[in-house]
Structure 1
Amino acid sequence: MVHLSEDQIHEGLTRLTDWEWDPEAVLIRRTVRLADFLGAIALVNEVAQAAEQVDHHPDIDIRYTTVHLTLSTHSEGAVTEHDMALAARIDELVAATAHLE
C-alpha cells in the first residue's frame, strides 16, 4: 500500500470538500453538520455501507447533529490512496443527504 507524501495529501485535499490534514495525528478529518439527529444517523449508516464495500473504515463520532469523520490507514500508520478514495465517496454521500443545514 502506498503511503502518500504530505504534498500528495495536500493535492488530494483540493479535490475533496472540507477535509483537513492533521500531520501530528497522521489523518484527514471532516465535520458535517446536519439538520437533525436522524439525518446524522442516516449519513453514518450510508458511510458504514460504503466503508464495508471497500473494507476500509473511518473513525466516526456522532454528537447530536454533528458527525466527525477521520480517515487514516491504521495498519500502515499513514494516509493512503484508500483514505482519499473513501473521503471522496463520503463527499458524494454528504452531497446526496437531504437533511443538511
Structure 2
Amino acid sequence: MALAQENCIDKAPKLDDVAAEMLSTDLQDWIMVNGTLEKTFRFRNFHETMSFANAVAYIAHQQDHHPSIDLTFGRCKLTWNTHSAGGLSRNDFICAARVDQLKA
C-alpha cells in the first residue's frame, strides 16, 4: 500500500535509521535532519502559501499528527517528527506523502 493511502496510528514507534531511510525513498525531496523530516515548498504569492498551509492543516487534523510549520510570503517549511516516539515514526512519512499529493 502506498504511504499516502495509509492512516496514522496512535503511539507509533520510533523507526530505526535503516527503516526511516527506506521510507524516505517513497517521498519527493524530503530530507531527514536530526530526527526530523523536512521540506520547503515555494509559491508565487502569499495566498497560495496560505492555501497550501491550510490544506496541510486539514491533513494534520484528519490524521491527528501535526507538523511544525514555518511560513512566510511565498514559502512554507514543514517539519515532521513524532515527539512521543522521540524521533521519526511511520506517521511522519504517511503525512509527508499525503502532503506531496497536494503539489502533484
Above 0.5 in TM-score?
A: yes
Q: Pairwise CA RMSD of aligned residues?
A: 0.9
Give the aligned partner of residue 66 of structure 1.
75
1:17-65 per-position Cα deviation (integer Å, ceiling 9, x unaligned): 1100013xx1010000011110000000000001100100000011210
Amino acid at match of 1:8: A
Out of 59, 74, 89, the residue aligned to residue 98 of structure 2 is: 89
Segments ≥4 residues shifted beyond 6 Å: none
Amino acid at match of 1:66: R
Listed as ranges, the gaps of 5+ residues in structure 2 are: 1-11
Amino acid at match of 1:12: L
Amino acid at match of 2:100: D
Tell me if 1:54 matches 2:84: no
What is the TM-score with the length of structure 2 in the denominator? 0.85
Structure 2 residue matching 1:21: 3-state secondary structure: strand
Identical-residue share of aligned pairs (%): 34
Cα distance in 2 for partners of 1:42, 1:51 equals 14
Greater displacement, 61-70 / 4-13: 4-13
Amino acid at match of 2:52: L
Structure number with higher relative contact order (C-alpha < 8 Å, ≥ 6 residues apart): 2
Cα distance in 2 for partners of 1:94, 1:4 equals 26
Amino acid at match of 1:68: K
1:17-28 residue pairs with structure 2 within 5 A?
17-23=28-34, 26-28=35-37
Shift of the alpha carbon at 1:13?
A: 1.1
